[in-house]
Structure 1
Amino acid sequence: MHIERQYRELEKIEEVRVYNISNVELFEQVPQYQKPMKIPFCNIIKYVQSDVNMIIPIEDGEDFVINRLGWNILQRGNIKLEDVEGRKFSECSPIFYEIFKEPFKEVFKTKETKSMRIYYYISNRIKSITNIHIIYEAGNLFVISDYTDELSNERSLEEKKLEDDANKSTLIEYFSQTGSYYKTRNEYTWTPGIYNIINRSKESDDAYYNIIFDLVIPEDKPLVHELLNTMSPETDTYENIIRIKTRDGHLKYIDTYLYSKFDENGDEISHYGLFKDVSLDSHKHMTRPVDFMLDGFNHNAKLSLLIEPLSRRYEFSKGFYKMIEIPSEDYIHSRDVLDNIVEEDVRENLVKLIDGEINEVNEILTYKVNGDENNLKICELFIERFQYGNNEHSIGFLTDITHIKKKQQELIKSNANKNILIKEVHHRVKNNLQVLNSFLNLERRAYRNNPNQILDNMQARLSSLALLHEKTYNTSDFLNINLKDYLEDQDETLHGLFSAKNINFESEIDENIHLSIETITPLLLIVDELTMNSIKHAFPDPDMENKTIHKEIKFIDENTCEFILKDNGVGLESPEQLINHNLGWEIVNSLTKQIDGTIEIIDSDAGTGFRIIFPIKFEELSDDENEEVA
């Protein structure tokens, strides 16, 4: 057993975390110390939902006698009241005595009520929460206990309905370094952006205290107290900048805006807070996967992320300013930027979007840099307007495709191989991103409580596609690409992404296998999905040695190949359950269909294996069929 204590100054409550105790350890059989006293209001207490426990101080508060315990704690300890009443606390329950000795002694000495919140953990997973009030009355202590079981992860139908817009709003929070909360009935609901600001993930007790104010540095505590004393029906808003220090030691400046609602009696009904990280170095400490993604946008001159482009609160990544060739400090965001767009119909659609007549634009446009007719850039622009809660938001992407368009014009006059590149460039811009977008939508539903899983999966896929793009741009034959070269490089990429898991990647690829770009693209994604499935499920023991994922691709005949992927992990309990309920299996099936292949699960004494049979050449899907598969 391990105990940690922390006092929440703002809430005036002591929090205690208790790790790894079992119910059989709660109470011990010991002789009775004294006869139990008659309990006041005994019949009334029976009808109270909370546990009412009566404790009698002895030895000047150094020990206590158990006079009554409530039904819940007796049930958890699997004992009867007669087994514990009249016993010394230190002898009957040494575990609870260690937890409560000092709080009981404090209340006995001061005669002031004390509040506590106890978190019980098993293997670092919270199992239950107990809210406790210790009350002194006529020389005795009364302990009122309310138990809360582990909260369900189920969400309401309304929350599921709003999932898409909520995820977009979350993305905006991440990239703009903002977050908010809503407090009602003394419980807090925090948006994901808050955790990006404070550099940590969500914890089970975050609903019970202000996780921002708890990090305020001592010098700014008076500002928080000023806030708590200021909010009233006459002054229902508050704005200031406070400083916090995150758990990992980073000092941050937080722009704080708070708003409260009150009823006709002046009692607070609800409370809303908006926080923005305005630290000068707020983007320098990359501590989360989303920060890694933002850093990628900031260093990409061809791709830019547009946060709130239809609002004065806009924030654009650095690529935008490189495309328009105006320093960010000199740029003034207004409709004037539309004047440099050559295509009149694109300008008209953007005006309609700004005025709220349409909700989306997806255009390819020609942009005159600084109005110069001789400095033209071809760009792909996507902007979407959406509602989330009571607020309207917008988000978009701007991509410089000038070099792609120039390549297309050059390749039109070239041979058949180069025409394939034109088609592949189009597919990379459209179909591959469409497939990734479909995967992302599926995984947001399947892994809604594990966003880091989604980011890890997408990072692996994007890394494989980046490898594919890099190699195809440096080759001249797009019908006969050596598969072994690609998979060896992919092994190095995957090993770099998942090096912390100490997994060996082995490959045996026939060096004579040459495939077209249309076959290699989905095949690499299949390798990603099966590899990530093994990484996630095959090795639950992080200390397991010789963890291996083995790949083998060889000819069956001159027109057909066999791909086998095996791991030496724990294996599958039920192949049928994988086939019927596994998102990764659905994704692999869709990709396998794209290459006219078939997939089966291999029987194995140890670990899990998959076999895919596919033709070297297949009938390529049309754009409409590709969209249906995705």
Structure 2
Amino acid sequence: MHIERHYRELEKIEEVRAYNISNINLFELVPQFQKPLKIPFCNIIKYVQSDVNMFIPIEDDKDFIVNRLGWNILQRGNIKLEDVEGRKLSECSPFFYEIFKEPFKEVIKTKKTKKMRIYYYVSNKIKTITNIHIIYDEGNIFLISDYNDELSNEKSLEEKKIEDDANKSTLIEYFSQTGSYYKTRNEYTWTPGIYNIINRTRESNDAFYNIIFDLVIPEDKPLVHELLNTMSPETDTYENIIRIKTRDGNIKYLDTYLYSKFDENGDEISHYGLFKDVSLDSHKHMTRPVDFMLNGFNQNTKLSLLIEPLSRRYEFSKGFYEMIEVSSEEYIHSIDIIDNIIEDDVRLNLLKLVKGEIDEFNEILTFKVNGDENNLKVCELFIERFKYGNNEHSIGFLTDITVMREKQQELMESNANKNILIKEVHHRVKNNLQVLNSFLNLERRAYADNPQKILDNMQARLSSLALLHEKTYNTSDFLNINLKDYLKDQDETLQGLFSAKNIHFESEIDENIHLSIEIITPLLLIVDELTMNAIKHAFPNPDMENKTIYKKIDFIDENTCEFILKDNGVGLESPEQLINHNLGWEIVKSLTKQLDGTIEIVDSEVGTEFRIVFPTRFEDPFENVNEEV
């Protein structure tokens, strides 16, 4: 760290320039010197826009006890108040002691307020500018800091980049019909997209009230009341759709997401809100994030993605309306559609899902199109109800398998030649690629800030499926595929993809394991997901030697296999580190379910180890087809 001091006579202010602050710790954990004193006007200080820091002079003003630090400086130091209060400043923060020891002594001696401006540099670029007022009152030193003052007129390249990014963000908000705000200490900061949504310009008092909630129509006021009574340290997120009426009389539907941060006392520190205009008359309707998922299914009239089918906020891809033969403009989302399902037990289970009695529905059903007994379609419907944060959501897939069932029956009755059967399997591979395309769209939303992760994940998945497709296209027996040959080729593919990371891939596969394409497809995708997870997290040190990802698959008995994948990396602090809110883990669980298998995280002295047990055979999908249809 290097510090330079200058006094600006014209402004009557001392400037301090601190360089290389990224190479130091702002605070250190040291023993408490004395109990902190009661802070005057503690509750009032919480609502002051600037940070208020309090110090007590000791040892003939040679050192100072930290009695209070403001929220911003604690955030920058990544430390809690109880870890620094009552400590000597020279011990718990030599960095700040070096900057303020002389200014503190000067203020104690003169009893006059001192102004300072501190420039913090990282890699010779200004990271932060802080304006300081130092006040001596009743034996205590108060340091008031403001992190929000404007910078000098001469803008650095970094400042210009920040300004350019802000302009890009404004443009994106305009085209996507979104806007957000940030509230701290009862003051709001609104992005330009908000004013585009409410169709007015910025006004001077917008910082002091919620300009969105003020426009909510009377019928939706209870939703706002629910929000205000819901946000707490236990429930820190909220999502719903509210309606507002703009000053020019337009009604708009806003998809609302709110998030709050709280301190250790349960007091709200900050509040973030994101609003998305989802009004039906919005000409930007197709730019919504959900459309990235829906578009992955729009070209397939036999396969439909169902977003929130159990909610009034439903979104369905085009294939759904093709299947029920009702246009999206005419369709009214209602539970009455269940009445067109022929099977009584299927209707009963679907109603249980709607009522929340079960969390998952996966059935094959016969659907009467528009109630017509002569127009029947056989469909496979999967819907899952799940919680994310504190909110319930649902997602599903509806597939028209009428033609596939008819083809199956024809194949069994006429003993069609093997080439037709191979084409049917390739059709399934095509469907797998379409599902991967939808995974891509899901990951674009989940990992929007890490596009390289999305590319790496999808490149590995697509390489494995391309290998599978190539081999099955040329094979004469797709029900007994040698697993060792596949994983050997997959290792070579992964080695090529990640050669720059110096990771060695080892496999030990029983050469007698032969599996059908129905099993190998999800198994290869599981290998991809777990391998990508290891590559991303197991070896944070790029200089680590002997980095290895090891796979082993062998028989437990003649009908069951065991798959082990482990690495020699840093390991997991706890299984929850991987399991909680991890899209990749959810994909692995889903693929394991396709295998009719079970997965567990195994305790390991070195690295991370996964164990999956799965059956070697499924029931032949083309057997007993006459009984099923």
TM-score, normalised relative to structure 2: 0.45
TM-score, normalised relative to structure 1: 0.45
